[in-house]
Structure 1
């Protein structure tokens, strides 16, 4: 099965209950984008409006290789400014004003329309699936974010920077392989412009060119949302490992699905359980008795207090609990059709809604 073979194969729309008014400090609009990360799309809009990107807020990140719609608030932005915007692969739809910015994770759900390709058989309708994080959470074609996060938590800043900048993955382009290998050879002697300017890494490398050993300062050149994603990716990987272990030990396995770190088992039944994403305030007494031994083993080598960063407060991460299973609402499945992009294979479209934080790609993999 292939997902997101072309951007049109994957559509996601944010569902948000937001109170709007006729005037206010923040303009609220829906941003539709294609081939842009959320951060890059906001930066493109900010540049066109001659505003600071920090004036804009979103509820979360949406896929780059897809068509996505999400709510954005912009401080000091007027309806007329938005209506004049004409950008390739980005559209904005003004919704109203608010006196408050959009807060992180403030949307309720996401609606998906996904075309799965290269199928050998019809997708199987399901009502629930194991609530794993998928590879988008870990960096996509460069799934290094969890490793970077782990090294940051362990206060190994130089190693974290090396994991972020160096060591190319087989899924990256030849150009990326070349500049990462060149940086590895030049470590401690990095120069301006060594990383392509269109990559987020370029600002980090250019900072290091003048501050070769200030690795925390270099990481600070990234947008806050990206910086914090390293920590969240590490927590997410630990969650996946704990959930997978629980399923293997206690559930009837219906299938295994693939992602960037291997295979994840899917349970036949709904798992009524919450699993922690451990943060600095983690307490084992808050954990369900059924998974205490498993959780202890998973975080045995971690000092959870290291999830608190006094010098970088926004990086600090508290404990949250995530459902082991996710439900699918409003599932509609189209008829299998001939796949014009993959000879001899089928394609099939599915539409459904998931609560925020659950991954549409995991849901479709569970149906295959």
Structure 2
């Protein structure tokens, strides 16, 4: 990914790069939700799960939790959305169910209890991050950090994670949703090629919009894309309806990503 693709152009500091790699593995990016207080109630009707999750896409995990507890994914509540390529400690809540074991690869139940109310978006106090930078020049890295600390100014850009580090498409989809071009939004969501291992299949759809070919080529692991393709095969050109098949939090993320792109462009111009 080029930073210019997400609205970042130029650097505030003229410092030599210290090198390094981010997220060489999911363990290199750990995030934990911190709550000031979640009231535990033995007689509560809402199950709260504290999970340690490795390398799971957020909405896919919601769907699997919903299957385990026989509820709609809309009944699985959470406070925040976390990056896929990471290890995250995150809370989920499900009203009206009792605890049962979760047997999913790379998902560990750290705790479970009951509460009176489900989690609301933004209800946790903060996120605690542990980020590992590998193969950098430690002395130069430290020197650069001290230089930044001395000046005390850091342009607060939205980074690649807001836009999709592997396939920076979220802001592009958001742009088309704002414009009301639902066909182009669907085309980008399904077909915009990135650096993932399905770039060839995605590019085929992006160029041809051939639904049957895409359904034959796309693996089941791309479940949201396949869901939209099946909807379009059944409903024809109902692209607005196709967008409505996506989880609401994902559609909101597209809009927020486009807002982030605009913010980055404005901040770039202010730096100039």
Q: TM-score range by the shorter chain?
A: 0.7 to 0.9
What root-mean-square deviation, in Å, do the aligned CA atoms of Structure 1 and Structure 2 show? 2.1
Deviation at residue 48 of structure 1 after TM alignment: 2.7
**Match among 93, 109, 113 for residue 110 of structure 2:** 93
Structure with more strand by fraction = 1
> What residue is the counterpart of 2:253 in the other structure?
229
Is the 2:182–2:243 Cα contact (8 Å) retained in structure 1?
no
CA distance in 1, matches of 2:154, 2:42: 42
Matches within 5 A, 1:327-338: none
Q: Residue 74 of structure 1 aligns to a residue in which SS? A: strand
Structure with more helix by fraction = 2
Is the 1:190–1:212 Cα contact (8 Å) retained in structure 2?
no
Q: Which has the higher contact order (CA 8 A, sep 6+)?
A: 2
Deviation at residue 11 of structure 1 after TM alignment: 1.1
CA distance in 2, matches of 1:45, 1:241: 38
> What residue is the counterpart of 1:182 in the other structure?
204
> What residue is the counterpart of 2:91 in the other structure?
71
**Match among 19, 22, 25 for residue 6 of structure 1:** 25
Identify unmatched segments of 5+ residues in structure 1. Answer: 250-368
Is the 2:65–2:76 Cα contact (8 Å) retained in structure 1?
no
Matched, 1:29 2:45: no
Is the 1:27–1:94 Cα contact (8 Å) retained in structure 2?
no
> What residue is the counterpart of 2:187 in the other structure?
162
* Number of matched pairs: 242
Is the 2:169–2:192 Cα contact (8 Å) retained in structure 1?
no
Matched, 1:102 2:127: no
**Per-residue CA shift, 1:51-83, capped at 9, x if unaligned?**
32222111111121111011111112213x1xx
Is the 1:28–1:72 Cα contact (8 Å) retained in structure 2?
yes
CA distance in 2, matches of 1:142, 1:31: 26
Is the 1:193–1:202 Cα contact (8 Å) retained in structure 2?
no
Deviation at residue 128 of structure 1 after TM alignment: 6.9
Deviation at residue 185 of structure 1 after TM alignment: 5.1
**Per-residue CA shift, 1:236-284, capped at 9, x if unaligned?**
11112222322x14xxxxxxxxxxxxxxxxxxxxxxxxxxxxxxxxxxx
What is the TM-score when the length of structure 1 is the normalising length? 0.61
What is the TM-score when the length of structure 2 is the normalising length? 0.81
**Per-residue CA shift, 1:268-315, capped at 9, x if unaligned?**
xxxxxxxxxxxxxxxxxxxxxxxxxxxxxxxxxxxxxxxxxxxxxxxx
